[in-house]
Amino acid sequence: MYPIKALGIDLAKLVFSIHGVDEHSKCKLRKTVKRNKLLAEVAKLPPCIIGMEACSGAHYWAREFTKLGHDVRIMTSKFVIPYRQNEKNDANDAEAIGGILEDAENNLPFLARELLNDLWQSIKSLNEEILKYDRKLYALANQMKDAKRLMSIPGIGEITATAVVATVNDAKHFDTSRSFAAWIGLVPRQYATGGVVRLGRISKRGEKHIRTSLIHGARAVIANCKNKTDRTSMWVKDLVERRGFKRATVALAAKNARLIWALLHSEKEYQVDYVK
């Protein structure tokens, strides 16, 4: 068993570099380990701090190392670069990550550590409150008939659906779907002079929260429509290819706004490939 206080791991696909130091910051472990042997290697160590750069597999390894009793820290690469003493390679990355952990462990003043701990506890408390109210919101959304109808539209979840239902008492107050989209701020600005009308960017007027939620939802739909073949997905993929991701996102958000008006106005259910 190595007397390791902090361990830096440079994650990779097949071979990992690890660098461990003791309480005096002296290197006690420096080697490469194959993927299928990494957990066994880490299991040999006493509980210590393990640092890794953020990447697609970092959270998986963090869960596995936590099960072994280690304190895992995930950090962005910009914090690793200043601690790298030589050229960039896996071994030096692992050493730099270990250096950050030691620096954070030994050089931070007690007062700063105390203040940061208080801040961290406040953040944890706020996150717990947010989670509690999110659960209440999700339960409420599934009890509301109109909200459940709206959630059948791709890109519209509990937050957007409840916001719309709470804000719009009666969709029939809007004469057309375009007027509803305009109220949200998802129609183009108009520039008219000399009888010539030019359309610009969306107005961004009106209900900002609903507009923002619709755009976030549209972005998620576009990111996940690659292998889908329904009419909306095909339309979106064609639009992304012709006009780019951002314009397609706003266009889909505007389309969903009009669908919201249609479902609330007609009290019908959403149909994916509906053709009038």
CATH H superfamily, domain 6-106: ATPase, nucleotide binding domain (3.30.420.40)
Nearest to 62, CA basis, from 53, 70, 47, 72 = 72
Nearest to 184, CA basis, from 236, 258, 248 = 258
Q: How many helices (H) and strands (E) does the chain have?
A: 11, 7
Residue 71 gets which letter from DSSP?
Answer: E
**Sequence-distant contacts of 26-32: CB under 8 A, at least 24 apart:** 27/95, 28/2, 28/3, 28/4, 29/2, 29/4, 30/91, 30/94, 30/95, 32/90, 32/91
Report which residue type is found at 111.
L
Supply the pLDDT for residue 220: 92
Whole-prediction pTM: 0.55
Supply the pLDDT for residue 83: 46
Q: Taking the domains of the chain in order of start, what are their residue ranges? A: 6-106, 110-141, 145-266
Supply the pLDDT for residue 110: 61
d(CA 220, CA 156): 10
User: Over the chain (276 residues), what is each successive 10-residue block's mean pLDDT?
Assistant: 80 85 83 90 90 83 91 72 49 50 53 70 87 91 90 90 87 85 79 64 77 91 86 87 89 90 85 59
